[in-house]
Amino acid sequence: MFRAALRHIRFLNSFADRVCAIASGMRAAAAMALLAIAAGCATPSGVGGAPGSVGALGESVSGRRDAAPFLAGSSVVALSTPGGGTPDDAFNVVFVADEGAYGDLSIAANFDRFAAEARAVIEDGFRQVDGLRLNETLLHFYVLKATGRVMGGACPGNLRFPDEVIERDSLFADAFIILHNREDVRDCADTGTRYGSAGVRREGGALVRKTGVAVHEALHAIFLLPDEYPENGGMWPTDPPVVFRNRSACESYRRDTLRITTPAECRRLRDFRGEVWWQADFRPFTPDIMDPPSPFDRIVQFGPADWRRARAVMRATGASVVDPAIP
């Protein structure tokens, strides 16, 4: 998290009533409204989803300091911290090894293999996304020495992270990505707890890491970007917006703010709850980072609405931000 503004950006992915309860319990820091939830706690029905369903995500920027300072020599090992500085100067991604894939990390060869794969995800994934590479000093990467587990069953309930380590050493993290080798798991992100997963697919006889998925899931957690694929994604309101609950608002945003001039209209999406959304970033034949092409290891870029959202979160920290060319 960022030192400069002493702001702690919390991403809350929860029931609508819980989001509102947490938000109202926070200190009324002046910055809090900057990226306040677009859903609006007064009208929870407006975010879709009946009470008790996973119906809203909230975000607040408060004046709270990180709960725990980063301590060198802890169970967290820095892999890549461009520009130097501390975790307070950046958004922080912590890779966690699935014990089933890497074994006991106290064995040096296992740890080295895990760290090498994490480095490959950074270089072949995150650094291939223009908006991240051009602002690479804002994104730091770490690995944990303690292992987690990816179980069978629905994601994210199937992800097991080493609680003790996370609580003690990794409170600075903005996203945890567990690297695993299971082909039978659909990867996902739980933005409320900052956890996501990235697995593998089989190509011929070889397992190929789904690097694009690691980036996609991390961006859910860091920027709260919603999915933009047509069916069964996680969609929610953000500010600035990425997806819309009605077509006309989407069309206006696309035309007046994003200035997308291609002839296609906003695309209709349906989320995993069956609710309808509209995607402003849709341009024919242009997949973006939240609408990744199969088999999900190709790297694609931010769409125009995605980038406005990511840039707003970056700028809220007080950092200067370099804009990529958006196709």
Looking at beta carbons only, is 76 or 121 nearer to Zn ion? 121
Binding mask 211-240 for Zn ion (x = CB under 5 A): ----------------x-------------
First to last CA, the chain: 30
Element (H, E) at 10: strand 8-14
Under a CB-based contact definition with an 8 Å cutoff, are residues 56 and 14 in contact?
Answer: yes
Closest residue by beta carbon to Zn ion: 227
Looking at beta carbons only, is 65 or 186 nearer to Zn ion? 186
Q: Report the distance separating Cα 188 and Cα 196, nearest Å.
A: 6
Under a CB-based contact definition with an 8 Å cutoff, are residues 62 and 27 in contact?
Answer: yes
Q: Least distance (Å) from Zn ion to the CB of residue 227?
A: 4
Per CB under 5 A, does 187 bind Zn ion?
no
**Pairing state of beta strands 175-179 and 195-198?**
parallel
Residue reference for tokens 């990505």:
177
Looking at beta carbons only, is 99 or 227 nearer to Zn ion? 227
With b for 16 or more beta-carbon neighbours within 10 A and e for fewer, the 168-198 pattern comes to ebbebbbbbbbbbebeebebbbbbbbbbbbb
Looking at beta carbons only, is 40 or 230 nearer to Zn ion? 230
Q: Least distance (Å) from Zn ion to the CB of residue 106?
A: 33
Q: Least distance (Å) from Zn ion to the CB of residue 296?
A: 10
Looking at beta carbons only, is 98 or 227 nearer to Zn ion? 227
HSE-up (13 A, CA, CB side) for residue 228: 31
Q: Least distance (Å) from Zn ion to the CB of residue 221?
A: 10
Please report the beta strands in 138-259, taking only residues with DSSP state E, as ranges in sequence order: 139-150, 159-160, 175-179, 189-190, 195-198, 200-203, 206-209, 231-233, 243-244
Q: Least distance (Å) from Zn ion to the CB of residue 21?
A: 26
Question: How many residues interact with Zn ion (rule CB under 5 A)?
Answer: 1
Under a CB-based contact definition with an 8 Å cutoff, are residues 203 and 242 in contact?
Answer: no
Looking at beta carbons only, is 35 or 155 nearer to Zn ion? 155
Q: Least distance (Å) from Zn ion to the CB of residue 161?
A: 19
- Give contact residues for Zn ion (rule: CB under 5 A): 227
